[in-house]
Amino acid sequence: MNGALQDILDGVYDKNIRKIGEWIKRANRPVYFRIGYEFDLPQNAYEPELYKKVFRYIVDHFKGQGVFNVAYVWHSAIHPTQTKDMMLWYPGDEYVDWVAISYFNSAQQQAAARVAQKARELKKPLMIAEATPAGIFTQKGKLSYLQTLFDVIEREDVRFVS
């Protein structure tokens, strides 16, 4: 969706959205759909108001197609350089089924806790939608990436990990 938010709202990608919706329906199983994942990653440059409109546009499009085997995932990058409040990008309770984060290193534990608290406040389950070690510590006396990942999963009641 980078660089395409206004085009999506202008209908340029309606055919693509319809095709994805048809595929989800035919999948005949639950599908977790991340719309504009890592919405708050500075490199994605999603303007919050436009992002929210696009998120709603896609959800409404799928609902209009009768796509009901889908859960909509609102996925934060929890990137350390992001200083804006993540709620600026929140499309609304009626549009979000899951709150998600990316988890790449132990330095993200505090940010993960903040997002987990927000998910609890919103009464949404928490997902780690992307997880892989980056900048891991393997030296003696340091927590491994996997240990911190499992700690976050347990401490923050993460319900789904990808």
One-letter amino acid identity for 146?
A: L
| Domain membership of residue 148 as a residue range | 5-161
Helix (H) or strand (E) holding 7: helix 5-9
Instruction: With beta carbons less than 8 A apart as the criterion, state whether 7 and 13 touch.
Output: yes
pLDDT 10s digits, 1-58: 999 999 999 999 999 999 999 999 999 999 999 999 999 999 999 999 999 999 999 9
The domain tally of the chain equals 1
Identify the CATH number of the domain in which residue 116 sits.
Answer: 3.20.20.80
What positions carry a catalytic annotation? 38, 130
Give the pLDDT score at 144.
79
Model pLDDT for residues 118-157, shown as the tens digit of each residue: 999 999 999 999 998 875 555 555 667 888 899 999 999 9
Helix, strand, or coil here: 61? Answer: helix
